[in-house]
Structure 1
């Protein structure tokens, strides 16, 4: 089976009373189970799938309740495609319109429920739906609220014997809150969660040391917001190594962090976790992906704390390498899946001096662009679904007509309109520098400078070359800036904006200057459009000449 073949059958979308047509795709797959492709012989599990029971209902329904950008992503489509091709399944994509606007009573019914939180997703509505329809959940929906709070995650990891970095917690919000049902589940799994917490005293002992309550931690340490959805993490360095901090954030283009030499004071406007900074082996962290306790996959990547530059291959994807986990790490992965109730789950692992530490649990995570992972994920989920179908006798369950897949619109055709672009795409890149060759571009001023002329753009290229020769800035960024300017400076749409940010000391004197260099290019007329424009001009001039004659 070609894993790159797009899914064009087997999906249904709920019909909404006051929305545009939602779509349903019908798939005529064989209800008998297929056999997945053979797996590499590296010891990973390739589960056998028992044959399905005979039943009056030909297909079981898999409901995918997640935001559209996740539910329709390539990894999800690859896994669903395999499930629909090799098993007696039909998939319903709920869609953003249904999830956000419709009451859960109007959501379509399903046998198996794939639902996970991402930005903008109404998790409380999904929890209400599970209580109402009681489908089999791949990942426990209510337990995903635990992942919203890093304090709870780390405390639970400690209680199940998973190593985490030493940390102090500054609670300014009174502590996390959980539903009673979630607390009961955690208790049954041998875990207790403390909700109400007093606000401890916070002291800054000196420029490198803070005290929370009666405990002390010294730089370098990592400052994390307690919210699992807040990725603005700071790493503060000891003054003996130059001080300052590195700001971590979600990847933007090729950046995942940046160094700020003037950031030395911890934040005091919320609740934070202060972790001991760990110097990981090979400057790499490990992303671990699980499918229950039966399959685990791990990949290494360059840690964002190194220089913040994301290494990508020629296809634009972040460079990662498959890693082999130790038996102890595999045991940790299985324990994390069970205690958090998340079959398909990802977490971050650090190896330091022969020991392994978990620093975060992310919930639903996919391996991207890996057919071996897709095959195993679909195979394991198929096995789980069919086993559950027999236990619950789902073949005898008939959904109400108004909640069934048959009460949906059917997609008959796709209509696409292609148009040749008039101009090349406009593009831009941003760089941040502070060295003297770039400060000279301001000509002694403190205002933004815009450079458009080709001869002036060469000055920016020369500044990049000088900074590279003197090793004043990141050479990879300088080379990228120079390459862009050397190739695009003669084109009319190219320009450079130099935006200074001046930091002043307590006396009002300039302390440091940080420059943001923004390069913009593109927008040139395409050859095809240029020909059309010439022909149009020729026709207009001809008609004008006829009028005058």
Structure 2
């Protein structure tokens, strides 16, 4: 009891019914100490022995209850206690069961119209059960007819299983990356030879959303308060960046109005006032991909201050509403803290005002960079009239008889290889007549196409491409007998291969990225990485669809952002193929070609004039 001017105020008891490992964590201690400093609350720690061994009738009685699940926690007992004593619950207990099943989490998010990635469920009653609605191919899976092209994400339905996998397409080099809870300074590993998805249990499959290599963690304290931090995503290289205290480096970020609404909706949907969830930012939109329940921010005194104030108001609203509107003029734990004076430069916007009184602001840096060293490019051209190849062209160009098509994915190239194998003659024709000589040349080119497509035993990598360009058409009656339609009868096939980025080329690109990083932000080490992680500037890396260009861009990103590991995950996470950007590059390439032609014409014309003068 506190006696104040003759009035007796009974303290509000706050029961902390959680496992001791969580009670004695630094964030929990910081917030509970601040609550006690208000002088309005008595904190009661239940302890592991009471929670696990004593019947709920013997548990301490309290006005407000902090209770949440962690490993070994008897959630059902806590529910029985809450039903018996009816304390005010910070986080309601029954919805916490949902958090152990990712299927139920996604169902609840959908019910409350909270944006999530496109996903599908594969439920197995026994391990390795064959399912008629599940199909797996080289570069995609299909669930109930819903197709997911690689890269896609595979999550166990068990919310406590953190072994999440990402599968990469053959066009990026194939392979799989497994994400896991941090072990030392690692949070993921890349396995280049794993291509098949798991079949041991039930999984959620969802599309991979490129986020520029960063994840956003959001922490709510009630529906009106949310704190957000960015970190380097484990999908990039799996290296955990830690500060001198051994904690993962994270940077505060501002949430957009729509993201603040999502935080409020998540808090309400799961009835968890103190809640953490993962946010993916992709192409101007945000998606919730995981909900963790009770979570506190680490190493943020501003957050500890805010959380204590919000919890105080929640407890007073519930048990002493007449005191809720009384706000302390000064936070009690800050009474004796010295006021920190700012020093150094004054910042205005993103510019810096120094001793000269002038403000300068770097608006952007744009680099247009050629690919690194490569092996020689090679090409095979041949005119084809075979129905198999013409039908293949129509299959992948949408059935348009005059439209060109490109075949580059593993599925497309496999179709072409199957067709070519059927067309290559088993015996080599003679060359007695001109027509037989043409047949021989055509057959040899088909053999060459077949040999190039068969190279390596499977379609991994991004160094083969086939173009099919219609050359001749005829009109034929439509299948329904009503009118006519065009049908191609001849096409030009162009097989391009080689041009693979060499080891030296990768080193060149990586060194150039490192040079950019060290010279754009001299002396700051990971300054560029920090700016990118906090969204304080917008880093975009674009590439054409040529394999050597994509791998050069990935190696450049590796050096630019000080990343480790293989290039496939970096390529998928950080390198974009933007149509409008590539159109601009194509236009620039055309202009360069036209300029070269004009230059050649000028040089040729000059040589001709010189030749006439000397009598050549």
TM-score by length of 1: 0.56
Q: Distance in 2 between matches of 1:246 and 1:296?
A: 31
1:324 — aligned with what? 254
Determine the structure 2 residue equivalent to 1:236.
Answer: 167
User: Which secondary structure state, in structure 1, belongs to the residue aligned with residue 320 of structure 2?
Assistant: helix
Runs of 4+ in 1 over 4 A off after TM superposition: 52-56
Is it true that 1:285 corresponds to 2:215 in the alignment? yes
Q: Deviations over 1:137-159 (max 9, x none)?
A: 00001111111111111122122
1:127 is displaced (CA, Å) by 1.0
Question: How much has 1:202 moved relative to structure 2?
Answer: 4.2
Aligned length: 329
- Could you report, residue by residue, the CA deviation over 1:26-80 in whole angstroms, capped at 9, with x for unpaired residues? xx9x688xxxxxxxxxxxxxxxxxxx99656x22211111111111111111111
After superposition, the Cα gap between the structure-2 partners of 1:115 and 1:54, relative to the gap in structure 1 and judged at 3 Å, is: farther
CA contact (8 A) 2:57 2:81 kept: yes
Provide closer, same or farther for how the CA distance between residues 272 and 382 of structure 1 changes in structure 2, counting only shifts above 3 A: same
- What per-residue deviation string (whole Å, max 9, x for no partner) do you get for residues 294-350 of structure 1? 211100000000000001122211111110000000001001101110001110001
Q: Does 1:308 align with 2:260?
A: no
TM-score by length of 2: 0.50
- Distance in 2, Cα, partners of 1:97 & 1:246: 41
User: Which whole-Å deviations, capped at 9, do the CAs of 1:204-232 have from their partners, x for residues lacking one?
Assistant: 34222222223222211100011111101
Work out which of the residue numbers 172, 175, 182 in structure 1 matches 2:124: 172
What is the distance in 1 between the residues matched to 2:6 and 2:94?
A: 31
Which of 12, 15, 34 is the matching residue for 1:82?
Answer: 34
Q: Which residue of 2 aligns with 1:377?
A: 307
Q: CA RMSD in A?
A: 2.9
Instruction: Name 2:296's counterpart in structure 1.
Output: 366
Does the 8 A contact of 2:215 with 2:280 survive in 1?
Answer: yes
User: Does residue 1:357 correspond to 2:287, yes or no?
Assistant: yes
Structure 1: 5+ residue stretches without partners:
1-27, 33-51, 175-197, 394-466, 476-549
Counterpart-to-counterpart distance in 1, 2:186 and 2:153: 19
Give the structure with the larger helix fraction.
Answer: 2
Contact 1:300–1:322 (Cα < 8 Å) also in 2: yes
Name the CA distance, whole Å, in 2 between partners of 1:53 and 1:301.
53
Is it true that 1:388 corresponds to 2:318 in the alignment? yes
Q: 2:149 aligns with which of 208, 211, 218?
A: 218
Residue 267 of structure 1 corresponds to which residue in structure 2?
198
Residue 104 of structure 1: how far off its partner (Å): 1.5
Give CA-to-partner distance per residue, 1:505-542, whole Å, 9 cap, x none: xxxxxxxxxxxxxxxxxxxxxxxxxxxxxxxxxxxxxx
Higher mean alpha-carbon deviation, 153-162 vs 110-119, is at 153-162
The unaligned stretches of length 5 or more in structure 2 are 324-502, 512-616
Q: Deviations over 1:331-387 (max 9, x none)?
A: 010011011100011100011011111101111000111111111111111111112
SS at match of 2:179: strand
Which is greater in Rg? 2
Q: Residues of 1 paired with 2:289 and 2:191: CA distance? A: 23
Q: Report the Cα distance in structure 1 between the residues aligned to 2:186 and 2:292, rounded to whole angstroms.
A: 20
